Structure 1
Amino acid sequence: MSAFGPGKIILLGEHGVVYGHAALAGAISRGVRASAEPSTQPGLELPDDLSEGQQDALERAFAVAAKKSKHPKVSVHVSSDLPLSMGLGSSGALSVAIARVMLEAKAGKAPTPKDVEALAFAMEKEFHGTPSGCDHTTSARGTLVLFQKGKAIEVKSPRPLKVLVALVGPRSSTKTTVGALRERQKRWPKRYRRVFEHINALVGEGVQAVKKGDLESLGDVMNMNQGLLSALGLTSTPIDEMVYTLRAHGALGAKLTGAGGDGGAVIGLFAEPEPAVVKLRAQGIECFASQLAGPRAL
């Protein structure tokens, strides 16, 4: 048996979600697949491309999954086409894929979405300590969602909502970037609160734009969100250069996605992203397209 957990992007509202504000997040076409074979006891084949720290975290998370799913007798293998540590929800996707296959192996039937989310969240705590819940919830739902304080509501679009995801390069850990922002926020709370409130308002405007199929308005909201993320000190020269590159290739809006900092991923909203993907790959830029919502969504 096998199960898939899609990665995710945050279209609007990253970082604010940590402080209880809303975020608009969508599942993407790339992700993690977990497959299970009968075994004498629960086991996990570790991928070869993980660091020692990543392997340790994965082993801890799998131990939690095995215990909470009542030790199904399967050996689990995972494969992924999702870049690690790029702000694309790799650990959330991994947690959802493993949760699905472990629960099905024990019960002999497909698990409920509620059970998958609960087990995946327990695994995410091993990866991140106090995760917001946005990553694994978006992955488990497999759609575009408005996420706030542990609750997610699907957001539908009458038009295809397509993005180009471009990889900028290695970045500092999410914990480091979030921690540095938290320290600045503690030092000047009123100033930073105002910025988060502005971002939260943009999320609301972005949701309305999605519902109306107004891609131009959504792109403008994304550009404004990027400006506020820059004001929060979450961008860098490589990120800014990629933002301007995507806009130069026709993006209606472009911004970092995820923690940001000194690397990670940048997303651009396109009516049709495929031509830009071809041009950017010809320049040596690693990128791919994905549809988040609307007719024929992936």
Structure 2
Amino acid sequence: MPAQYLGPLPDHGRFDYLPITRRPRYRWPGGAGLAVYLGFNLEHFAFGEGMGAGIGPGSPQPDVLNFSWREYGNRVGAWRCLDLFSQLGMPAAALINTALYSHCPELVAACVARGDELVGHGHSNAERQGVLAEADERALLLHCRQQMQQHSGQAPAGWLSPWISESVHTPDLLAETGYAYTLNWCHDDQPLPMRTRGGAALWSVPYPQELNDIPMVIARQMDGKDFAQLIIDNLQEMLDQTRAPDAPALVMGIALHPYIVGQPYRLRHLRRALQAVAAARDAGEVWMTTPGAICGHAAKVAGPG
């Protein structure tokens, strides 16, 4: 084996390794050990081109089958999900494509009216961010902030790249364009600071790749009732891990896409899972919140690291 492969491997330089057992202890507001948030992905896709999750094998464009299945989420599924969130008194983080402002502005307005946090999620999920030149990527980040401020009255504090596609410069550009946190990295159960080239603060807030309906339901073909049980099992295990006074405070995100969980039979199972979260919240064991609030609290009590 060549000698260059026997030393340290290439590294991103964004953070050091630090096991969760060796970190300062803190709690969430109200004394809870577990913070839970809903990452509600509201997306729009170009017709006849670009990327997108599929319920069936891709067809030559225009791929009406898969496009119309995804569009169901904006027309029907999202509204059913928002009703469920409101019934349970749950805030959400609406991860929005800014193309929604020209396509279905009523949907974004409904999230704003509920008091949900708006998180930047690119212009369209038909495109990957990581292939952009640095200047174009910066322009995308600034465009999304400007559009959300103009149309919704709030500039986003957080960002999730479409398809979690990053360039080597993405964390630097996020910090330089005014974002406080990223959801792109799924390497931990706690929010952690990242290094940027200019030294500006950027936090990584955990975003789930397992408690996420796309990889579970679409990629692994998990049934709706099993996905709901996955959420419940994860909740119960993380509650067990955080009950002791000296246990680390943890974050549990639940990533949802309305064209998937907004289907009636899946929504019925999601209701059961979120009722379990609501019961833990009402018992004082869970802080039901948003990723922006998680970032803000962690920055106060955990420090820059």
Q: TM-score range by the shorter chain?
A: under 0.3
The two structures have a TM-score, normalised by structure 1, of 0.27
Q: Which has the higher contact order (CA 8 A, sep 6+)?
A: 2
The two structures have a TM-score, normalised by structure 2, of 0.26
Higher strand share: 1
